[in-house]
Amino acid sequence: MRIAMIGTGYVGLVSGACFADFGHQVTCVDKDADKIKALQRGEIPIFEPGLDELVAANVRARRLDFTTDLSSPVAEADAVFIAVGTPSRRGDGHADLTYVYAAAKEIARALTGFTVVVTKSTVPVGTGDEVERLIRETNPSADVEVASNPEFLREGAAIRDFKWPDRIVVGISDERGRKVLGDIYRPLSLNQAPVMYTARRTAELIKYAANAFLATKITFINEIADLAEKVGADVQEVARGIGLDNRIGSKFLHAGPGFGGSCFPKDTRALVKIAQDHDAQLRIVEAVLGVNDNRKRAMARKVASAAGGSLRGKTVAVLGLTFKPDTDDMREAPSIPLVTGLLDMGARVRAHDPVGMEQAKRELPDIEYCEDPYACAKGADVMVLVTEWVQYRAMDLERLKAAMAQPVVVDLRNVYRAEDMAAHGFIYESVGRPPQARG
């Protein structure tokens, strides 16, 4: 099958490379000429484990190429995927569909023969209807069907998620379109990945509902962590105890500083706005947003408390800046409000991240960046572990303590065991653990 992928961001590039690896002929299109030139040189604009090798292998096999010219790839395509950005619209939280609608109009002008146009971007319910209207208005003779095929990729594990998905959701009613998308995803039949065909609006809502539910699980266990600290319970054991119930499951029950990233904050906000537009109430999702925002702001106060109540004039070492490990994505990262709060309290902040420091500098320009975690901790009055990168999970605790001015560690991911930290003489603060276990 011939595929045109419009957009070479996270979703477009991963999806395009994986489709090419299935054996399809894929052209990725982007208006950013510098990005396309970089991709043609083999330079990958995002950090995703294994993506550089996957792109390189399929470029060598001539199944994957990159261009700024939309017309030719669309004219030759069996399916055109729209994978452009849908950021939160400034001021109201709605998804900004400017790029989606602009792509739809351009695609319409280039269509020849029967083509399936697929929204891969996360879009509000009803967007597919508007995409179809715009295409038919722009090119009334177009033989086209519009489908919704939301992505369910986790940053840091996107290639595996694409090739071994829990499910593939396709929103389309036309039989010709179902056949095209069935042929595109047929290589996954060996992995027994279930393909779920639904109405287009249902597929659009599935994506938002899934992200909102996962965000709710995270927020729930974070509130339970706060209660656990008050009553002397251990939230990790609570999470295991409820997660063993197969009606609940253990995933997304890890207490921490709040969720971030490119999906959960944006999509939960957009879902609330969709509900408001349709006179429906989503009080649980609204509460999730409020609790998560408050939690991220509260983490700086947690650090101050561990450091004796005041951070003025003190040096704080921050380990981990990206919103999760194995990505360089800083969008809505908990580190941003944390560091901002630390600075507001008068602290000097040093930071380290294995891959995200260049991106972090755009968000946090007023701090010092260090080449390794021990250099970051040198002379610090308190160290905060924010992102659970594997590089931070087995640090030399003796070396760490010797480097620090004061042996105070705030572990926002519960990476270390309290008894080990106490044995090495640290004042140790974690999340959702009883006071007596903090060293």
In 335-371, which positions are buried (b, 16+ CB within 10 angstroms) versus exposed (e)? bbbbbbbbbebebbbbbbbbebbebbeeebeebebbe
Which ranges of 111-199 does DSSP label H, i.e. alpha helix?
Answer: 127-138, 158-163, 175-185
Long-range contacts of 235-240 (CB under 8 A, 24+ apart): 235/414, 235/431, 235/432, 235/433, 236/414, 236/432, 236/433, 238/432
Measured distance CA(384)–CA(409) in Å, rounded = 6
Pairing between strand 144-148 and 79-82? unpaired
Nearest CA among 75, 69, 81 for reference residue 18: 81
Angstrom distance (rounded) from CA 183 to CA 173: 16
311: Cα separation from own chain's centroid: 31
Q: What is the DSSP letter of 190?
A: G
What stretch of H or E contains 109?
helix 98-110
In 3D space, the residue among 318, 295, 323, 334 whose CA is nearest the CA of residue 392 turns out to be 318
Determine contact, residues 186/212, Cβ cutoff 8 Å: no
* Active site annotation includes 263: yes
Strands 64-67 and 25-29: parallel
Q: Which one is catalytic: 28, 263, 370, 376? A: 263
Which residues have CB under 8 Å from 306's CB, separation 6+? 382, 408, 410, 427, 429
- Burial (CB count <10 Å: 0-12, 13-18, 19+), residue 122: buried
Question: Catalytic residues, which ones?
Answer: 263
